[in-house]
Amino acid sequence: MTTVLQESRQDGRLILTIDRPERRNALNVDVIAALQQALQRARADDSIRAVVLTGAGEEAFCAGADLGADAFAFDYATPTIAYADLLRTTRTLDVPLIARVNGACMAGGMGLLAMCDLAIAAPHAIFGLPEAKVGVFPMQVLAVLQAQVPQRCLVQLCLTGDPIDAARAREIGLINEVVDDLDGALERLLSRLLGNSPTALRRGLYAMKAMRSMSFEEAIAFGEGQIGLLAMTQDAREGIAAFKEKRKPQWTNK
């Protein structure tokens, strides 16, 4: 059986590569299921410090749903859709998730991009929501894009279906960086993340994501409780001790 998602691990990093270059790394039920399972395992594995999501080859990160594979054949007896459940999973993922955008990022691929915490892209990458051109609309993707992209930019992407280039994607906040050396930039980013306390990053991401749907008063009260809990961790004590002693901290992930 063909493996549609390649997984590799090294030094606390989990690299997930959608491996369907012949279909521009389009999503089908197998890809979605494999991503869901991989992210659930990462959430439960304290040794995973960061997750990278990318596509095989240089042409596409993810072209969206595979329109040749019953993309809209829904099971109406099931109250949720697998792609939506994948996006839900990342809302509670407390491991940094990084998009390595190596090419075209379209339609459902934009949802994968938006579910990531950080994103870097190659100069030739393009981004778009072309669903209206085939008679549908990016309904599920809107749920994760609305908080990331200015409203008028998002409306234009949805209603015209026209793509934008990497420079414009950075301007509107879809990605953090556009770089020629994608792997070099990724390595530098990972090195910075892995140098920080894994406990702080996990608890911090948990708090950031929880606060998104809260009012200010709810969020500030939640934050008060979270900082108290974080201060009791071994990593917090080690970080403060290392700062005072002018040495590099030795994180225990506890």
CATH of the domain at 68: 3.90.226.10
- Tens of pLDDT, residue by residue over 23-69, are 999 999 999 999 999 999 999 999 999 999 999 999 999 999 888 75
Stretch 127-136: mean pLDDT, rounded?
95
Of 153, 171, 194, the residue at which a domain comes to its end is 194
Q: Do residues 90 and 201 both lie within one domain?
A: no
Percent pLDDT > 70 in the chain is 94
Q: Do residues 148 and 38 both lie within one domain?
A: yes
Domain encompassing residue 89: 5-194
Q: Do residues 14 and 134 both lie within one domain?
A: yes
DSSP state of 65: B
For the chain, the farthest-separated pair of C-alpha atoms sits apart, in whole angstroms, at 63
Q: Do residues 224 and 178 both lie within one domain?
A: no
- 179 within some domain: yes
- 252 within some domain: no
- Classified as helix, coil or strand, 5 is strand
Ranges of beta strands (E only) in the chain are 5-10, 13-18, 50-55, 60-62, 97-101, 104-106, 118-121, 126-128, 164-165, 177-178
- 251 within some domain: no
Q: Do residues 137 and 207 both lie within one domain?
A: no
Q: Do residues 203 and 178 both lie within one domain?
A: no
- 231 within some domain: yes
Instruction: Give the per-residue pLDDT at 75.
Output: 53
Of 168, 194, 220, the residue at which a domain comes to its end is 194
- 250 within some domain: no
Q: How confident is the model at residue 221 (pLDDT cuts 50, 70, 90)?
A: very high
Q: Are 72 and 118 in contact (CB under 8 A)?
A: no
Q: Do residues 11 and 84 both lie within one domain?
A: yes
- Asked whether the predicted pLDDT for residue 208 surpasses 90, the reply is yes
Q: Do residues 226 and 117 both lie within one domain?
A: no
* Average predicted confidence (pLDDT) for the chain: 92
Instruction: Give the per-residue pLDDT at 79.
Output: 52
- Tens of pLDDT, residue by residue over 60-112, are 999 998 887 555 555 545 555 899 999 999 998 999 999 999 999 999 999 99
- 167 within some domain: yes
Structural domain count of the chain: 2
Instruction: Give the per-residue pLDDT at 81.
Output: 85
Question: In what order do the strands lie in the sheet containing 60-62?
Answer: 60-62, 104-106, 126-128, 164-165
In sign, the C-alpha dihedral spanning 161, 213, 74, 76 is: negative
Q: Do residues 94 and 213 both lie within one domain?
A: no
- Tens of pLDDT, residue by residue over 52-64, are 999 999 999 999 9
Instruction: Give the per-residue pLDDT at 70.
Output: 59
Q: Do residues 85 and 150 both lie within one domain?
A: yes
- 55 within some domain: yes
Q: Do residues 89 and 135 both lie within one domain?
A: yes
Q: Do residues 45 and 140 both lie within one domain?
A: yes
Q: How confident is the model at residue 219 (pLDDT cuts 50, 70, 90)?
A: very high
- 127 within some domain: yes
Instruction: Give the per-residue pLDDT at 1.
Output: 44
